[in-house]
Amino acid sequence: MERLLIHPPFADPTQPYLSLPTLKGYLRARRLDARVVDLNVEAAHFLLDREQLEDLARRLGLRFLKLNRADSLTFDEQREYRQLHDARPKIEHVLGAEVSPLEVFRRRELFFDPAAYSLARRQVEMLFDALSAVSFPYRFDFNHAGHDVLPWSFDLLEAYVSEEQSPLGAFYRKVFDPPEDWDAVARGQLHLPLDGAELIGISVVFPSQIPEALYLARLVKRRAPGAFVALGGPCVHQVAVHMEERLRERLLSFADGVGLFEGEETLAQLLPRLGAWRAAGSEAERLEVLREVPNLLLRDGEGGRSRLGPHFVLDLSEAPAPDYSDLDLDRYLAPSRTLLYAPTRGCYWGKCSFCYYGLAETATAEYREVPPERAAADLARLSQRHGVRSFYISCDVLSPSYAVRFAQALVDRGLKIRWSSDLKIEKAFTAERCELLYRSGLRSAAFGIESGSDRILELMRKGCDRTAMTEVNRRFHDAGVATEWMAFTDHPGETVEEALETVRWIAAESDSVDLFIVGEFGLERGSHIAQDPARYGVEKVYYAEGDELRLYALYTQRSGERTPEERERIDREIRKVGSRYALNPYPWAGANSTHHTLLHFLELGPRAFRTHFQPAQAAREGALSAPPTSHIPGLREYARFSVDAIAEAEERFFQDYLPRALYTTIPARRSASGRETALLSPEHFRAAAASLRPLRPGRR
554, containing H or E segment: strand 554-557
Could you tell me if 473 and 454 are in contact, meaning their C-beta atoms sit under 8 angstroms apart? Answer: no
Whether residue 351 sits in one domain with residue 287: no
The pLDDT of residue 623: 64
Q: What is the mean pLDDT of residues 165-184?
A: 86
Q: What is the pLDDT of residues 449-463, one digit of tens each?
A: 999 999 999 999 999
Whether residue 472 sits in one domain with residue 368: yes
Q: What is the mean pLDDT of residues 474-492?
A: 98
Alpha carbon distance 437, 432 (integer Å): 9
CA trace torsion 206, 239, 32, 197 (10° rounding): -90
The pLDDT of residue 183: 60
Whether residue 665 lies inside any domain: the answer is no
Whether residue 611 lies inside any domain: the answer is no
Q: What is the pLDDT of residues 636-665, one digit of tens each?
A: 999 999 999 999 999 999 999 999 999 888
The pLDDT of residue 404: 98
Lowest mean pLDDT among 270-279, 337-346, 477-486, 657-666: 657-666
Q: What is the pLDDT of residues 12-36, one digit of tens each?
A: 999 999 999 999 999 999 999 999 9
Alpha carbon distance 336, 344 (integer Å): 25
Could you tell me if 232 and 201 are in contact, meaning their C-beta atoms sit under 8 angstroms apart? Answer: yes
The pLDDT of residue 497: 97
Alpha carbon distance 489, 499 (integer Å): 5
- Single out the residue in 282, 297, 312 at which a domain terminates: 297
Whether residue 673 lies inside any domain: the answer is no
Alpha carbon distance 124, 586 (integer Å): 13
CA distance to 445, 478, 479, 488, per residue, from 512 (Å): 12, 8, 11, 19
| pLDDT exceeds 70 at position 70 | yes
Q: What is the mean pLDDT of residues 263-280?
A: 97
Contacts of 48 (CB under 8 A, 6+ apart): 100, 101, 102, 124, 127
| pLDDT exceeds 70 at position 669 | no
Whether residue 348 sits in one domain with residue 290: no
Could you tell me if 427 and 458 are in contact, meaning their C-beta atoms sit under 8 angstroms apart? Answer: no
Q: What is the mean pLDDT of residues 288-302?
A: 92
Whether residue 94 sits in one domain with residue 240: yes
Query: How does the average pLDDT of the chain come out, rounded?
Result: 94
CA trace torsion 479, 483, 489, 495 (10° rounding): 20
Whether residue 226 sits in one domain with residue 150: yes
Q: What is the DSSP string of 251-313?
A: HTTS-SEEE-S--HHHHHHHGGGHHHHHH-SSHHHHHHHHTTSTTEEEEETTTTEEEE-----
The pLDDT of residue 75: 96
Contacts of 572 (CB under 8 A, 6+ apart): none
Q: What is the mean pLDDT of residues 349-371?
A: 88
The pLDDT of residue 114: 93
Residue 243 DSSP label = -
Amino acid at 143: N
The pLDDT of residue 184: 63
Whether residue 158 lies inside any domain: the answer is yes
Q: What is the pLDDT of residues 239-248, one digit of tens each?
A: 999 999 999 9
Amino acid at 489: T
Q: What is the mean pLDDT of residues 367-390?
A: 97
Alpha carbon distance 137, 284 (integer Å): 41
Q: What is the mean pLDDT of residues 159-182?
A: 90
Whether residue 398 sits in one domain with residue 262: no
Q: What is the pLDDT of residues 180-235, one digit of tens each?
A: 766 665 566 788 989 889 999 999 999 999 999 999 999 999 999 999 999 999 99
Whether residue 351 sits in one domain with residue 250: no
The pLDDT of residue 178: 80
Whether residue 367 sits in one domain with residue 282: no
Could you tell me if 388 and 420 are in contact, meaning their C-beta atoms sit under 8 angstroms apart? Answer: no
The pLDDT of residue 155: 96
The pLDDT of residue 621: 62
Whether residue 353 sits in one domain with residue 292: no
Whether residue 209 sits in one domain with residue 351: no
Whether residue 81 lies inside any domain: the answer is yes
- Single out the residue in 281, 297, 313 at which a domain terminates: 297
Alpha carbon distance 137, 146 (integer Å): 8
Could you tell me if 370 and 316 are in contact, meaning their C-beta atoms sit under 8 angstroms apart? Answer: yes
Q: What is the mean pLDDT of residues 54-68?
A: 97
Contacts of 506 (CB under 8 A, 6+ apart): 452, 485, 487, 513, 516, 518, 577
- Single out the residue in 241, 262, 297 at which a domain terminates: 297
The pLDDT of residue 182: 60
Whether residue 452 sits in one domain with residue 577: yes
Contacts of 468 (CB under 8 A, 6+ apart): 425, 427
Domain that holds residue 390: 344-521+562-606
Q: How many domains does the chain have?
A: 2
Whether residue 623 lies inside any domain: the answer is no
Whether residue 448 lies inside any domain: the answer is yes
Report pTM: 0.95
Cα dihedral across residues 654, 657, 661, 664: positive or negative: positive
Beta bridge partners of 305: 300
Residue 629 DSSP label = P
Cα 661–Cα 664–Cα 669 angle in degrees, nearest 5: 115
Whether residue 71 sits in one domain with residue 197: yes
Alpha carbon distance 366, 430 (integer Å): 26
The pLDDT of residue 359: 82
Q: The CATH number of the domain where 588 resides is what? A: 3.80.30.20
Lowest mean pLDDT among 110-119, 350-359, 386-395, 597-606: 350-359
Alpha carbon distance 77, 688 (integer Å): 14
Lowest mean pLDDT among 85-89, 361-365, 496-500, 553-557: 361-365
Whether residue 675 lies inside any domain: the answer is no
